[in-house]
Amino acid sequence: MILLLNAVLCLLPTAFVLALIIRKRKEQREICLAPINELSRRPAGESLRIRLEHLEEKLTDDTLGLLLFPLMLILFLAIRHPIDELSLILLFTLSVGSSAFFGIRIYKLARSRANYKLGFEGERFVGEVLCRLITHGFEIYHDVPFDGFNIDHVLVGPRGVFIVETKTRRKPVDKSGGKKYHVTYDGKFLQWPWGADRFGIDQAKNNAKTLSAWLSSATGEIVSASPILTLPGWMVERKAPTNGIYILNPKEINGVCSSQPPKLQESQIKRICHQLDQKCRIEIIH
């Protein structure tokens, strides 16, 4: 009983400090306001950033669970006297079970976080590359939200409307330590060093159709968006016509978009951008 009382007394200062921090934060929010509470355009990779934040919170909770559960068992052992063999076996089983439970969760969360972080960094990289298109009269929108999904990047300019779907994949390393970084598009499939698939192709085409239908309805005129699938860090070899989609390294996007013939008038661009400006507003949470 004395050990339990001592443990409670040791935790009281920590609880006091946490309560004080929460109170001070609340008082600060009540006496002042941030000068900016909204962004007119979402940053690149915003949806992935939010997912990463949620994953970090879950990882923190599970890590605390992994560490605190054994400490609770140790405290129980310190309080309970005497300890019989059956109790020790039960406590050891509980410790193994909790370690396995939280360990598996932490491993899965860490793997998901690594994948989301890779995707986030890819979208940020592509967003920086796309900034060069501003000199060619393009407006650039990132992370355009729709029901249940988002479009990574949307380009609007005199040369037309383009959606850019970013797919960031790790490069395999061969036995000699060299990185295999070539991917070939044969008009239907992407030929990777490990095999062929249509990773991102159908998604980019569907996103272009969705954006075209939405903009056509919102502006009252037919708007057609062209899909681009970009693969950061990969050298893309094309052995077939575009077949309705551009498969590009990010550094090729500037040349492809700026070389297209003029398609949109300035008045059309303004109407399209007005709709996207409304859709891409984001509230800043302080």
Q: Report the alpha-carbon distance of residue 231 to residue 276 in Å, rounded.
A: 25
Look at residue 8 and tell me whether its pLDDT is greater than 70. Answer: no
Percent over 90 (pLDDT), the chain: 53
Which helix H or strand E contains 182, and what residues bound it?
strand 182-185
**Quick one: how far is CA 136 from the chain centroid?**
28
pLDDT at 27: 72
pLDDT at 267: 93
Query: Pick from 188, 148, 192: which is nearest to 167 by CA?
Result: 192
Q: Find tokens 């490069």 and name the residue.
A: 171
| Helix, strand, coil distribution of the chain in percent, nearest 5 | 55, 20, 25
pLDDT at 28: 74
Q: Report the alpha-carbon distance of residue 24 to residue 243 in Å, rounded.
A: 59
Look at residue 75 and tell me whether its pLDDT is greater than 80. Answer: no
The mean per-residue pLDDT over the stretch 156-171 comes to 95
Helix (H, G, I), strand (E, B) or coil at 200: coil
Given pLDDT bands bounded at 50, 70 and 90, which one contains residue 172?
confident
Q: Report the alpha-carbon distance of residue 45 to residue 193 in Å, rounded.
A: 27
The mean per-residue pLDDT over the stretch 208-214 comes to 96
Look at residue 222 and tell me whether its pLDDT is greater than 80. Answer: yes
pLDDT at 43: 87
The amino acid that residue 233 corresponds to is G
Given pLDDT bands bounded at 50, 70 and 90, which one contains residue 101?
confident
Q: What is the mean pLDDT of the chain?
A: 85
The string of pLDDT tens digits covering residues 248-269 is 999 999 999 999 999 999 999 9
The amino acid that residue 170 corresponds to is R
Q: Which residues contact 81 (CB under 8 A, 6 or more apart)?
A: none
Look at residue 2 and tell me whether its pLDDT is greater than 80. Answer: no
Task: Determine if the peptide bond prior to 262 is cis (ω within 30°).
Answer: no
Task: Spell 98-125 as b/e; 16+ CB within 10 A means b.
Answer: beeebeebbeebeeebeebbebbebbbb
Which helix H or strand E contains 114, and what residues bound it?
helix 85-130
Look at residue 189 and tell me whether its pLDDT is greater than 90. Answer: yes
Q: Are 228 and 130 in contact (CB under 8 A)?
A: no
pTM of the model as a whole: 0.80
Given pLDDT bands bounded at 50, 70 and 90, which one contains residue 176?
low
Structure tokens belonging to residue 265: 């008038």
